[in-house]
Amino acid sequence: MRFAILSFPGSNCEYDLLHAITDVMGETGELVSYKGGSLNEFDAVLIPGGFSYGDYLRGGAIARFSPIITELIKFARTGKPIVGICNGFQILTEAGLLPGTLLTNKTAKFICKPVKLQVQNNQTMFTSEYQFGEEIELPIAHGEGNYFCDATTLKELEENNQIAFKYAENPNGSVDDIAGIVSKSGNVLGMMPHPERAVEELLGSTDGIRLFKSMIENVMSRGIVYD
């Protein structure tokens, strides 16, 4: 399975993702520049964490105008999986591929620590290897992780079962303790915690592995043959 890992000026987690995909999961991963190029030959796209364009204006607000985002929007329409992690989540909301936005943490401080999450929906192509309601641990590292959406959108997220992960203890003020959501179509996931930083015992948790495993199992079991 071929994963594209997008890279923007200021990304800083692309090599962690590449390591997780290639060395840990044994799959093919390739960095793809923000400058553009076709994503057709990939089975999945990962958008890494970091500080694209220095987080000027808002995290992800400038990156969303990069040429690769036009390709990403086309890719999303094919139904293939896309995951945005931390700054990647911010880019997905700015690009309109996920609802809501990420505000400054309620403490106005950058928070970097492991957090406990509850799996709210294990029926997605990203979470099928977890148990429903399971508590897992992944690290967070962000200044703008405070997920916000209006009441109508929140109701829609709940009704459509789009909330994938919630914080067991809310660290940043996110509405409804939301840590990660999927798109209505189900093939786009945005999450603030970093699964790629929890793929080896040495890192303190291996709970991130099953997220990538879920994607691999789902793509393979659908028997989708990509270009």
Q: How far is the CB of 31 from ligand GLN (least distance, A)?
A: 16
Residue 158: active-site member: no
Task: Write out the binding residues for ligand GLN, residues 43-62 only, by CB under 6 A.
Answer: 49-51, 55, 59
Task: Quote the least distance from Cβ 173 to ligand GLN, whole Å.
Answer: 13
Contact call for residues 29 and 5 (beta carbons, < 8 A) = yes
With CB under 6 A as the contact rule, the residue among 25, 72, 80, 87 that binds ligand GLN is 87
Residue 112 falls in the annotated catalytic set: no
Q: Is 94 in the site for ligand GLN (CB under 6 A)?
A: no
14 belongs to the catalytic site: no
- Pick from 5, 86, 149, 219: which binds ligand GLN (CB under 6 A)? 86
Instruction: Identify which of residues 99 and 139 has a Cβ nearer to ligand GLN in the complex.
Output: 139
Q: Whose Cβ is closer to ligand GLN: residue 141's or residue 163's?
A: 141
Q: Tally Cβ neighbours within 10 Å of residue 74.
A: 12
Between residues 51 and 186, which has the closer beta carbon with respect to ligand GLN?
A: 51
Which one of the listed residues 13, 14, 86, 142 is annotated catalytic?
A: 86
CA–CA gap between residue 167 and residue 162 (Å, rounded): 15
Kindly state the smallest distance separating residue 199's Cβ from ligand GLN, in Å.
Answer: 16
CA-closest candidate to residue 6, choices 90, 101, 98 = 90
User: What is the per-residue binding string for ligand GLN in 141-170, x denoting contact by CB under 6 A?
Assistant: xxxxx-------------------------
Distances (CA, A) of 87 to 78, 108, 142, 148, 156: 23, 17, 8, 15, 24
80 alpha-carbon distance from chain centroid:
14
Min dist CB 60 to ligand GLN, Å, is 8
d(CA 163, CA 9): 30
What are phi and psi for residue 213, nearest 5 degrees? -65, -40
In the complex, what is the shortest distance from the CB of residue 161 to ligand GLN, in angstroms, rounded to a whole number? 26
Distance, in Å, from the CA atom of 110 to the CA atom of 122, rounded to the nearest integer, reads: 29
Q: Which pairing describes strands 163-167 and 188-191: parallel, antiparallel, or unpaired?
A: unpaired
Residue 57 bridge partners (DSSP): none
By annotation, the residues acting in catalysis are 86, 194, 196
